[in-house]
Amino acid sequence: MNKLLISALICLMIATPSVFCQDVENNISEDIKVQDLLAYNKWRFNYKRVYLNEEEQIYRQIVFFENLASVNKHPSHKSYSKGLNQFSDMTKEEFKQRVLNKKISKKASSNKGGRNLAADPAVSNLVFPTNNLPLSVDWRKRGVLNPVKNQGTCGSCWTFATAGILESFNQIKNKQLLKFSEQQLVDCVSLAGYDSDGCDGGFQEDGVRYAIEYGIVQSYKYPYVGYQGRCKVTSPTSRSVGFYPQKFQLVNKTEADLKAALVFSPVSISVNADTWKEYYGGVFDECGYTTEEDLNHAVIAVGYDQEGNWIVRNSWSAAWGEDGYIRLAPGNTCGILLDGLIVTQ
């Protein structure tokens, strides 16, 4: 946040008016255009923003103007565009803290020695052929995906990625497109002894392993509330009530292997989403070099187009991005190849 806006915040916190504060207000007024105020009022109405007090409202308005400036300054020649969305009154730091996943990068650090999954009964060893791959795959067109959901300001992306691939696998296998409960995973996975921690982040592998052991119920039986509460499923559910996957598989970390897995079904992936906050549309290519330690958001790869761009389903509502989706440039953009998981049985 620039010095002028910081000075404005200081003025909000002092009780006695001063010449300094008057100068700050005048400078801000000169910087803010009428169309910016109109944009803020329209945005606030559309997103139904209500703040705790006047100080909070002024602060959020200042943050909005900074984000609006970032959107307006985005070069038109880029392969993607920026826009306003539900995060437009959040700073970058707040976005990372309140929306992204604090756990995924820690898994990379703890797994540096490697894991032997060969004898794990929950892990399959299917071979997905990487030769003669189709020119494109798009599971959005095949009726195996529910409408895009919204995790809110709970770091529960991992539960949406988990529930999403289970929903798709169930539709592919059993011809039933059900909605499974993210809230059950938020509330119960840590209680079952896994390292995931509800709104403070977690791992799709934990979510799938939990579902293998306890089953996952439909969301109408256990609706999403966006915060971690008391677990309502303390023992394995009846198979007539819960869905039980049997096996999953980690995807090899190459473009060909991810494409081959996508021929089979949608794939849970982890990415670095630090720079996704203002994405509006187009092919995104600005994550920089990404390692496993940089991963901080769980999403679902649902296909690729003829140019090799990845089609990725997010959990930030259909109002974000391209109807809730983002297209990523070919290759390991945002770390898309580093943490793939697919349900196989």
Annotated active-site residue in 67, 296, 309, 314: 314
**Class of CATH domain 94-343:** alpha beta
Render pLDDT for 60-118 as a digit per residue (tens, 0 to 9).
999 999 999 999 999 999 999 999 999 999 999 999 999 998 777 666 545 544 555 66
Query: For the residues 222-235, what does the mean pLDDT come to?
Result: 94
Domain-by-domain residue ranges, the chain? 3-73, 94-343
Render pLDDT for 170-200 as a digit per residue (tens, 0 to 9).
999 999 999 999 999 999 999 999 999 999 9
| Residues listed for the chain | 345
Bridge-based pairing of strands 310-313 and 297-304 is antiparallel
Question: What is the DSSP track for 236-268?
Answer: PPPTTTSB----EEEPPSSHHHHHHHHHHS-EE
Q: How far is CA 89 from the centre of its chain?
A: 18
Question: What is the DSSP track for 198-225?
Answer: GGG---HHHHHHHHHHH-B-BTTTS---
74 counts as catalytic: no
Which segments within the chain are labelled E, that is strand?
A: 80-82, 137-138, 248-250, 267-271, 279-284, 297-304, 310-313, 325-328, 341-343
Residues 6+ apart with CB under 8 A from 184: 216, 217, 222, 231, 232, 233
Annotated active-site residue in 67, 85, 154, 157: 157
pTM over 0.85: yes
Annotated active-site residue in 170, 297, 309, 332: 297
CB 146 within 8 A of CB 113: no
CA dihedral (292, 293, 295, 301) in degrees, to 10, reads: 0
157 counts as catalytic: yes
314 counts as catalytic: yes
Given this model, what pLDDT does residue 108 score? Answer: 53
**Residue 12 pLDDT > 60, yes or no?**
no
